[in-house]
Structure 1
Amino acid sequence: MDSRKGVGGWASGGLVLPMLILLMLSVDVGGVTSPSPSSTYTVDSDGVWSSWSVLSTSCSADCGGGKMHRVRTCTNPAPTGNGQLCEKETQPGVRADLELKDFPCNNHTCWQGAWSEWSNCTAECGRGNKTRYAMCGNSTCEGTQAKKMEMECNTWNKTSCPSPCDKVNLEKLCPDYAVCKDESDEKDPKYTCVCTMGYQMTKDNKSCVRPPPTTPTPRPIPTLEPAQKVVVTVVSKSASTVLIICVSICLAIFLVLRVFTPDRVIQMNMEIALLLAHVFLIFPPSVAEMEVLCRVVSIFIHFFFTACFMFMFLESLHMYAYVAYVIKQDGMFSRAQNIIVGWGVSAIIVLFCMCFEYHNYGATYHCWLQMDKPLLYGQLLPILFLVVLTFTMIEAAGAADYKPLKGMDKGQLTSARFSQRTNLIILPLVFSHMLVGMFSEFDQNLALYSIFTILNAVTGVAVLFLHCANNQQVRMKMMGVYRSMCRGSSAR
């Protein structure tokens, strides 16, 4: 019996009962109703195969050709009504709603150890990588056979390759305020970024920054043994006292003899400045513990030593005016002018230093001039300048060979020539004992204190003897006193 006929017979006989039921349901108590307008009739349509499934069994071989199974169903759409099922492709004439079929897979050649050529290095003039792949026949292997091999390569050649710093124009290798320094060797291109103009490289080497202000390591305070400190204090203060006494005697002699010539006024002010500098030096060491008082002492020591050298320069200028026959008598400046210039210029120098370095006057353990602060330049440079000028004037006066002036005061000329020689002794003594004193206090050095003590005493005696000896009026009056004493002794 034909299956289609069976199906059709069942369909024609099977429809009678449902239609009778529908007619019965449409009969009302009052009569028979007509069918509902919404009633539909089934349309007969044949089924259509769906696409072959993507999901499938695994391939039966990895390479060289294999098979895999795919499936499709008669659901695109499914048959309706008296529609027919789909006809199988694999079994022509047979109809069903499901079909399986074999498809070829992995047809590529199997790998037999062949590789492709190495690729070019990924880096030009440097280190990189090159690659090769497994070959299956004439094609690159795929799937499980796919293999890849990498190897490091280096194309750097110091002779032919450009310097890495030449890339600065193409890409910014170094940060702002830095220059590129080529440090390449035979194996690799290398460079270093070096910061300029005082900038410093950050830790990440990405930028140059100004360095923070450095905090200097505080200098350890030098100390002497207590016994040595007592000896040094007594001896150095005693030496300053000897200098003060000698200078005071010199001042007293000229005051008693009432000698106030222009050259003597200059010398007198130099002596007063030297005397007052040492008066402040004999202040007790405990002054260093009082910050304000210690600073005041330091300022006055600076001022009086500067004035001392300023007046020695004015004395050399006064002496040069006589020896070079520039003037006849009484010097180039008046007494008042010499005083104003000597003290005024010294005050200006010290005030200038105070404007910038006031807080550096004084120290934690002494009150003399400090050696480790910028104030040192303001203290020493003007004095060095005055010392050089003074020696220059003395040398120029010694080499002068000019025609004497008529009516020149020969007494003052003689005193000027004496002054020329005495300054060659006093000036080095004052300068050296000032420097040695500064170093001895700053370093608390026993040997330097000893030298300072000796120089103090020698300087005081030299000032007393030479200033009295080179002044004509003092020499004449002292000779008169000496003769009077001699006559008195002979009369007895």
Structure 2
Amino acid sequence: MAPACGTVMLGVLTLAVLLLHVPHAAGQAVVNGNWSDWSVIGTPCTKTCDGGFTTIVRSCTNPAPEGGGDLCVTDEGQVATNGLDFKIAACNVQTCWANEWSPWSNCSKVCGRGNQTSYAICGNETCTGIQYKEKKLACNTWNKTTCPSPCLSTKCPDYGVCRDDSNNTDPIATCVCTMGYKMSPTKTSCVRPPPSTPTPRPIPTMPPAQKVVATVISKSASTVIIICLSICLCIFFVFRIFTPDRVIQMNMEIALLLAHCILMSPSSITQKPIICTVVSILLHFFFTACFMFMFLESLHMYAYVAFVIKREGMFSRAQNVLVGWGVAAIIVLFCMCFQFSNYGGVYECWLMLDTPLMYGEMVPIVTLVVMTFTLTEAAGSAEYMPLKGMDKGQLVSAKFSQRTNLVIMPLVFSHMLLGMLSEYEQNLALYSIFSLLNSISGVVILFFHCSNNQQVRMKLKAVFGKMCKGRQ
């Protein structure tokens, strides 16, 4: 009915306008035309829902022009044809979908962030294309108090543990590495971090005046021990005493003498890296040989005191010399193979205590010291059956050596350690103690090595006897 009614109305309006344009009688008043309101009813709408279009009309009848009055003009400034004006208007703008959306659904996530959904279905006519619509709304159901910890569902890599960092709005599980491991950049594994580069040790320095004093006292002490060892060697060479036990002591004295001769080198050698390296290697070699011969002396002494042999020691003179120097050379060559670059230093040429070379030097020497003490104590703390035909003179010398080694070896070991520490720390007090022990070591070695030997005692007694008779 509505489309037919709209067509009839347009026809009636057109007829009325035509009738109005019939000429009136002469003498009628001039009246300009004016537009009526737009018609409420237009042509049939192009769509029944979701917004269509219709054509509406207005007429130049409010009032109609009379007596030659002006015709109505459109919005575009044109004279209306036949007194009518048409335009397109929207119609049936209501949606084709049902006007009610469904209630919001529950949140898609339990104890977390998700979405709620509402939907609508097609309404009063068949919709084109999609027959279903929905809309979403963000939601958050997380509650730190009532929800389970996110760590319960989180798997961390090896060496990692989960840490609950949840706040009031979100569950947060963080994997933290333990046992010194660090999380990889990809956050997928715990890896062992590379070793940190240690801060270089600052080079210790001494005031020039203290350095002069330290040099003087250390060189003086080395001179004292060199003199004492030289006198001891000369005495035995003059008396031509080269028994097996004396050969061992002689080589120990030579090793210690050469070590202190090297310590007399000027401090300027630190500016010559090659010479400094050679000095460091030689010091290592001679001190190791010194303690090796001390061990051989304790072994020689043990063989007598424990009544293992009757005379002349367990090894020949040549065997003792070969073993003493040979073992020391093997130890030094082994260290040179793995730690050659650490021999010598920037400011001293003895032993840098902050390098792995320290273990290569000290472990063998400490081992020899412990073994020497063990043999010495073992020989003196047990009762052994004496052998028939035992050389009593050599046995007496061995027992003297047993006691004197307990004095000489700690002195030599202590002054070696203090020498290394004083050079490494550049400490005047350490230099002073080192120098004192040096001097004491030299005097003690001279006295004990001469007094322990039976032949030296006898010859010195004869010499002093002749001197006394000559004075009379």
Q: TM-score range by the shorter chain?
A: 0.7 to 0.9
Distance 1:101 1:335, change over 3 A: closer
Give the Cα separation in 2 of the matches to 1:201 and 1:100.
Answer: 68
The one-letter code of the counterpart of 2:140 is E
Residue 316 of structure 1: SS of its match in structure 2?
A: helix
In the alignment, the residues of structure 2 paired with residue 483 and residue 416 of structure 1 have an alpha-carbon distance, to the nearest angstrom, of 26
| Deviation per residue, 1:176-228 (Å, 9 max, x gap) | xx4431212676452315277x7643445355566556444322111100111
Tell me which residue corresponds to 1:351.
Answer: 333
Contact 1:156–1:189, Cα closer than 8 Å, also in 2: no
Question: Where has structure 1 moved over 6 Å in runs of 4 or more?
Answer: 99-102, 107-111, 156-159
State the Cα distance separating 1:127 from its structure 2 match: 2.8
Q: Is the 8 A contact 2:150 2:172 kept in 1?
A: no
CA deviation map 1:288-307 (0-9, x unaligned): 11111111111000000000
Contact 2:284–2:361, Cα closer than 8 Å, also in 1 = yes
**Unaligned segments of structure 1, at least 5 residues:** 1-50, 60-67, 72-98, 137-145
Among 172, 194, 207, the residue aligned to 2:177: 194
SS of the aligned residue for 1:406 comes to coil
- Quote the Cα distance in structure 1 between the aligned partners of 2:286 and 2:424: 19
Q: 2:369 aligns to what SS in structure 1?
A: helix
Name the structure 2 match of 1:119: 106
Cα distance 1:484–1:162, how it changes in 2: closer, same or farther (>3 A)? same
CA distance in structure 2 between the aligned counterparts of 1:190 and 1:147, rounded to whole angstroms: 31
The answer to whether the 8 Å contact 2:298/2:376 transfers is yes
| 2:118 paired with 1:129 | no
- Matched with 1:284 is 266
Q: What's the counterpart of residue 208 of structure 2?
A: 226
Q: 1:108 to 1:159 in 2, by over 3 A?
A: closer
Q: Provide closer, same or farther for how the CA distance between residues 159 and 427 of structure 1 changes in structure 2, counting only shifts above 3 A.
A: farther
Specify the alignment match of 2:435 in structure 1: 453
Contact 2:284 2:332 (C-alpha < 8 Å) held by counterparts: yes
Q: CA contact under 8 A between 1:280 and 1:297: conserved in structure 2? A: yes
Q: 1:227 to 1:158 in 2, by over 3 A?
A: farther
The 1-side partners of 2:144 and 2:235 are apart by 92
Greater alpha carbon shift after TM alignment, 324-333 vs 211-220: 211-220
Task: Verify: 1:181 aligned to 2:169, yes or no.
Answer: no
Where do residues 92-171 of structure 1 align in structure 2 (5 Å cutoff)? 103=92, 105-106=94-95, 116-117=103-104, 119-122=106-109, 124=110, 126-131=111-116, 149-154=137-142, 163-164=151-152, 167-168=154-155
Unaligned regions of 5+ residues in structure 2, if any? 1-43, 56-87, 122-133
- CA distance 1:53–1:106, change in 2 (3 Å): closer
> 2:400 — aligned with what?
418
Aligned pair count reads 384
Structure 1 counterpart of 2:226, which letter?
A: I
Cα deviation per residue 1:105-147 (whole Å; 9 max; x = unaligned)?
Answer: 2377878xx993551352x4x53235365999xxxxxxxxx98
Q: Tell me which residue corresponds to 2:228.
A: 246
In the alignment, the residues of structure 1 paired with residue 144 and residue 99 of structure 2 have an alpha-carbon distance, to the nearest angstrom, of 39
Quick one: which amino acid aligns to residue 285 of structure 2? F
